[in-house]
Amino acid sequence: MHSLWNDEAASRCADALELRAYTSRLLGNDPDLVMYGGGNTSLKARWRRADGSSVECLYVKGSGSDLAHVTPADFTPLELEGTRRLLEQEHLDTDGMMAGLAPFKLRADAPKPSIETLLHASVPARHVEHTHADSVLAVINTSSGRQLARTVFGDIAPLVPFRHSGFELAKLCMATFERERTERTIGLILENHGVVAFGDDARTSYENMLALAARAEAFLQSRNAWHLPTAPTPPKTRASAIALARLRRDLSAVAGWPMVLANDRAPEVMGFIARADLPDLAGQGPPTPQHAVFTKRVPLFGRDAGSYALEYRAYLEAHAPADQDPAGLPDSAARIVLDPELGLAAASVDARHAQMTARMYRHDIRIASRAASHDRYVSLPPADILLAELHYGGFERGLRAPARDTRPRLGQIALVLPDSAHAIDDLLAEGSAVVAIGVDTTDRENLVALAADATLDDETLVEAVHAFGGIDEVLTRRPEPSRSPLLQELLSLSPLRR
């Protein structure tokens, strides 16, 4: 873990807020620290009013932006004094907290402030960074995690017991900081969640985050817990193509809409799936609650999407809050599937989100494996994970709702031949994932280009199915394309044929 700070890039930043955005992007571009909306940062600085007066301000990353691409406009300026005063209250739920913050917003068109806003207000440092750093989670998400946190980080980053994101967590961060900080303190460890680092200038604060992650990594190395087991990548076969298409059909039937799969058979994934303790380890839950929004609490082991759905519904019934609106409950389809022959399959609304989900689970695999190498990996109780799923969830619904008009092919997979009347760009714009066979184009987010000829032999079809999990249509001008038994079988497994 080395610093990406670059003096020249930093000197190009016109002011403190630009510099804040710059180091936020450095954090956000390191997937070992931050995955997809999983972190936030802030800056305390003067805010100049139009009349020339100024006030102390907290710029906190707003919701809806990703640290990897954050710009000054993505930070919400809040009057610091009033924001901090909210921490004097005894209790505040999330709605109350958001309503309490509203009057202190200094720019009317700024984004909604992060749910972690008060956490950033709770410590006095000018810069504050919050991530879900893999290495820290691999140390603390263990049966002896509390004790290990004290051994590894001590007063350098005191441990804050688990609370859900929002008011309660910010209160406890403030109390822990005030009680336990010393001259050496550069951050806080958030139990079952992540890490906070801070500093009075941009570079120190960013590098303090790296220092905490490096300290965790050094501990894991010292316990021989860094190395990850591997196993051979299974071949892509006719049987695995059919199994993948069937899996996609079954998951889509449970979800009620067509899903796209991302398939990962890397040796690291296969090594995880081959573990004797897999159900116990992967059945614990995610290393930080936010990941459950993409991955759900636990994966499906094998291919029985129906049994998973029953268990998921039982989990919702047992743990959903009494006042939960049933319309806001997630569907019961698995998002992560672990199978000894298929590897990891991640399901989502489109190829991009399926790939994001798969990448996130790769990090979960590393964290759980490393934790299990030096201790027993533990996650939060199911009820706490479900609260996070409900609180941050619904992003898929958000993507699907407008799609009915603007992206009618969302979730569909088209196999495009060179003579197709459909332009690939149009198909992609309509939401489809595309496998282009023998077309002069290159891979893009929802596009895989195969350099095969257009005869659709079995080898080409097998390769095509492994791109996104199935085939819904073959686009060609030929009136009745020759349909091999394999192609017929694959098309019969399309979730659109119900």
- Give me the residues that bind Zn ion (CB under 5 A), please: 194
238-255 and 458-468 are packed helices; what angle lies between their axes, rounded to 10 degrees? 40
CB of 129 to Zn ion, least distance (A): 11
Q: Closest CB to Zn ion belongs to which residue?
A: 194
Residue 268: burial class (beta carbons within 10 Å; 0-12, 13-18, 19+):
middle
CB of 293 to Zn ion, least distance (A): 12
What one-letter code names the amino acid at 7?
A: D
What one-letter code names the amino acid at 399?
A: L
Give the nearer residue to Zn ion in terms of CB position, either 145 or 194: 194
Residue 422: burial class (beta carbons within 10 Å; 0-12, 13-18, 19+):
middle
CB of 287 to Zn ion, least distance (A): 11
Give the nearer residue to Zn ion in terms of CB position, either 194 or 393: 194
CB of 380 to Zn ion, least distance (A): 13
CB of 43 to Zn ion, least distance (A): 18
Asked if 233 and 265 touch (Cβ cutoff 8 Å), the reply is: yes
CB environment 192-219: b (16+ within 10 A), e (fewer): bbbbbbbbeebbbbbbbbbbbbebbbeb
Give the nearer residue to Zn ion in terms of CB position, either 116 or 207: 116
Smallest Cα–Cα separation from 356: which of 260, 458, 439?
A: 260
User: 151 is written with which tokens?
Assistant: 């051994």
Give the nearer residue to Zn ion in terms of CB position, either 286 or 431: 286
CB of 391 to Zn ion, least distance (A): 12
Question: Tokens 């290159």 — which residue?
Answer: 442
Smallest Cα–Cα separation from 491: which of 446, 463, 461?
A: 461
Give the nearer residue to Zn ion in terms of CB position, either 194 or 299: 194
Give the nearer residue to Zn ion in terms of CB position, either 350 or 384: 384
Give the nearer residue to Zn ion in terms of CB position, either 34 or 358: 34
Query: Using CA atoms, how far apart are residues 387 and 391, in angstroms rounded to an integer?
Result: 6
Give the nearer residue to Zn ion in terms of CB position, either 130 or 249: 130
CB of 290 to Zn ion, least distance (A): 6
Question: Tokens 């946190």 — which residue?
Answer: 149
What is the torsion angle, in degrees rounded to the nearest 10, for the CA atoms of residue 191, residue 194, residue 195 and residue 196?
Answer: -100
Query: 40 pairs with which residues across the strands?
Result: 130
Give the nearer residue to Zn ion in terms of CB position, either 163 or 303: 163
CB of 130 to Zn ion, least distance (A): 6
Asked if 117 and 101 touch (Cβ cutoff 8 Å), the reply is: yes
Question: Tokens 């390191």 — which residue?
Answer: 30
CB of 362 to Zn ion, least distance (A): 19
Query: Using CA atoms, how far apart are residues 334 and 84, in angstroms rounded to an integer?
Result: 41
Q: Is 342 helix (H, G, I), strand (E, B) or coil?
A: coil
